[in-house]
A and B are shown apart, each in its own frame.
Chain A
């Protein structure tokens, strides 16, 4: 794994040079997250374990790492954490319904050839796995957006201590609107880059539009991209309302 060690080394040095202590923490957080993913995969191989429940637990732990370890435990990260968990559960139900309906689980016929030596009957519900994959690929962006909204909302609250709950909510929504474009962009390009080979493949073998859109690999990728975008948009009102609710509630309690 020579290339990987080099790249990881360069990344670590750059992170420390630019970010100092916090940079080192960010690098360690990546390693923790990687360990959580591997552990999640390990749990999923256990017979009769429900991949959806494992995913909920894994996303909770990952949000803890991304919010509480990289930053710290305070009111901002706590509200971001609650919002993340709520959004993940809402998104899970939506994604599960559509993976089941559209049957995008497992491997496409284009992939089957290379894994011919393996048995596919491994007793794991691949519909649930497909749902888990979509959630896990969005979790980084969801925690990032939650944090990017709740943290400036607290600043606004500190500077205007008499602000009403409604006003605070709308200022959160305005911050969300500004970052919506860049967050969705980040995810779209990440997926475009990952699927470049697939796109060239479709074009090279001159698939028709009808064949492309109905094929398992393409529709699975499309649904993943779209659900990731839905997740990043959904976290905005959830975080804005939860943060507004908690900050104002804490103020009112202090008064009495």
Chain B
């Protein structure tokens, strides 16, 4: 019965949200127009590398006082499309309407693209894939993601509204909350989870300490903060907080793997010696160490590919391109890797401690 209600709720919210993003024009203050006709009017070659096209668009306004009227727009786009795009029939665009345009023939300019539909659709594909593959566990991962995102957003609001509290303190508290919530949701209320929570927190804060000491010793030599985008705040703090929130997921993964396997070894054989537990635990740790550091490495470095291409294609040298674009990403990946490797022995000994405690009580 609960299952059926659950399916019904998911189905209903799917239909409702898709309907909403296809009909939410009136919720936006900015005028939105849908392209109904495109004409290519010009094309220019650029140094044999690229081509720039000019498109004349006729679009129908979807909201505001001029709803239903047609507006004429001009769009320039290149083959690369690094900061421009070709519009097709049905593309939806935020526009600004020229004030001096006559009412019979509105003209205007393109401001941005309406992307909310696609974010929502990909979001639903994500939800359905997770539910189909993971069922209950899939549902818990979705809940954990949403709760953590809300928590992060709330923590940032708190940071921005009270100028007194440092970002590091706020992220420290958030890290504790993230860890407790995610591990409880993924793994339930039991001793395995407690061991993993303690190991995660120890591993994270120890690697934070190591990274901080390295940064102090080297005077942050080699870190190019100027590559940090979107910075309105003290960049060093934002960077450090980002490093540790970023590594947290991987560290939790290692901690839970270590504690689950130690506990399952103990469950299978209550007489197993501490030495045997240590040995098997280390073997498991060795197996996951490489792949876990790789996950972080790829997640961080790949995002820089477009910038690397832009620098190289504009004639920058490899040395300059790499040092300008990768220093922070590499530091992030390495600091995260240190956290992962440290958590292997920490997770092992915490789990053994909990096993011993359980043994003493039995």
Q: Which residues of A pack against B, CB within 8 Å?
A: 1-8, 10-11, 14-15, 18-20, 22-23, 25-26, 29-30, 33-34, 37-38, 40-42, 44-45, 47, 62, 66, 70, 94, 98, 101-107, 109-112, 114-115, 118-127, 129-130, 132-133, 136-141, 143-144, 147, 173, 176-178, 180-194, 196-201, 203-205, 210, 213-217, 219, 222-224, 226-230, 233-234, 236-237
Q: Does B351 contact A (CB under 8 A)?
A: no
Residues of A contacting B89 with CB < 8 Å?
A: none
Q: Which of B196-224 contact A (CB under 8 A)?
A: 210-211, 214-215, 217-223
**Which residues of A have CB within 8 Å of B262?**
none
For window 307-338 of B, CB contacts with A under 8 Å fall at 307-314, 322-323, 327, 330-332, 334-338
Which residue from A143, A180, A193 sits with its C-beta under 8 Å from B138? A180
Cross-interface CB contact of B231 among A186, A201, A229, cutoff 8 Å: A201
Taken together as a complex, chains A and B put the C-alpha atoms of A241 and B281 apart, in Å, by 29
Chain A residues lying within 8 Å of B72, measured Cβ to Cβ, are: none
Residue contact B50 to A121, C-beta cutoff 8 Å: yes
CA distance A129 to B81 in the complex (A): 10
Closest to A192 in B: B245
B115 & A196 in contact (Cβ 8 Å cutoff): no
Could you list 26 A-B pairs, sorted by A, with CB under 8 Å? A6-B218, A7-B214, A18-B345, A19-B286, A22-B289, A26-B293, A37-B301, A105-B85, A118-B311, A120-B78, A123-B49, A123-B79, A136-B298, A140-B298, A141-B298, A173-B133, A184-B130, A190-B295, A193-B248, A199-B153, A200-B160, A203-B156, A223-B118, A226-B125, A226-B126, A233-B126
Question: In the complex, which of the residues B144, B214, B247, B314 contacts A118, with contact meaning CB atoms closer than 8 Å?
Answer: B314
Looking at B289, B331, B342, the one whose CB has the most chain A CB atoms below 10 A away is: B289
Complex Cα gap A253–B112 (Å)? 60
The CA-CA distance from A213 to B312 in the complex, in Å, is 31
A186-B141 contact given A98-B122, A193-B244, A203-B156, CB 8 Å threshold? no
**7 extra A-B contacts, CB within 8 A, seeds A223-B122, A226-B123:** A4-B331, A7-B335, A30-B290, A47-B49, A210-B27, A216-B112, A236-B133
A6 → B minimal CB distance (Å):
5
Q: Is the CB of A214 within 8 A of B306?
A: no
* Interface residues as binary, B60-97 with A (CB distance below 8 Å gives 1, 0 otherwise): 00000000000000000011111111000000001000
| A69 and chain B: residue at smallest CB distance | B290
Q: Is the CB of A3 within 8 A of B218?
A: yes
A54 shortest CB reach to chain B, Å: 11
Please report B residues at the A interface, Cβ cutoff 8 Å.
Answer: 27-30, 46, 49-50, 52, 78-85, 94, 112-119, 121-123, 125-126, 129-130, 132-138, 140-141, 144-145, 148-149, 152-153, 156-157, 159-160, 178, 182, 185-187, 210-211, 214-215, 217-223, 228-233, 235, 238-239, 241-250, 252-253, 256-257, 282, 285-287, 289-303, 305-314, 322-323, 327, 330-332, 334-338, 341-342, 344-345
Contact A122 B144 (CB under 8 A): no
Q: Which residue of B lies closest to A151 (CB)?
A: B287
Asked if A102 and B129 sit within 8 Å, CB to CB, the answer is no
- Whether B130 pairs with A233 at a CB distance below 8 angstroms is yes
Cα separation A47 to B46 with both chains bound (whole Å): 14
Contacts of B246 in A (CB 8 A): 189-194
On whether the beta carbons of B156 and A200 are closer than 8 Å, the reply is yes
B residues less than 8 Å from A44 (CB atoms): 305, 309
The docked-state distance in angstroms from the alpha carbon of A99 to that of B121 is 12
Are A120 and B80 interface neighbours, CB within 8 A?
A: yes
A6–B313 Cα distance when bound, in Å, is 31
Provided the pairs A200-B160, A226-B125 are in contact, do residues A121 and B80 lie with their beta carbons within 8 angstroms?
Answer: yes
Taking A126-B306, A214-B114 as contacts, is the C-beta distance between A18 and B289 under 8 angstroms? yes
Indicate if the CB atoms of B118 and A123 lie closer than 8 Å: no
Q: Is the CB of A144 within 8 A of B285?
A: no
Task: Note all chain A residues with C-beta closer than 8 A to B336.
Answer: 190
B-side contacts of A98, CB under 8 Å: 118, 121-122
- Within the assembled complex, what's the spacing in Å between the Cα atoms of A79 and B285? 22
B27: chain A residues within 8 A (beta carbon)? 210
Contact B221 A41 (CB under 8 A): no
Most chain B CB neighbours (cut-off 10 Å) among A18, A115, A118, A193: A193
Tell me how far the C-beta of B128 lies from the nearest C-beta in chain A, rounded to whole angstroms: 9
Task: Tell me which residues across on chain A come within 8 A of B301, comparing CB atoms.
Answer: 34, 37, 136
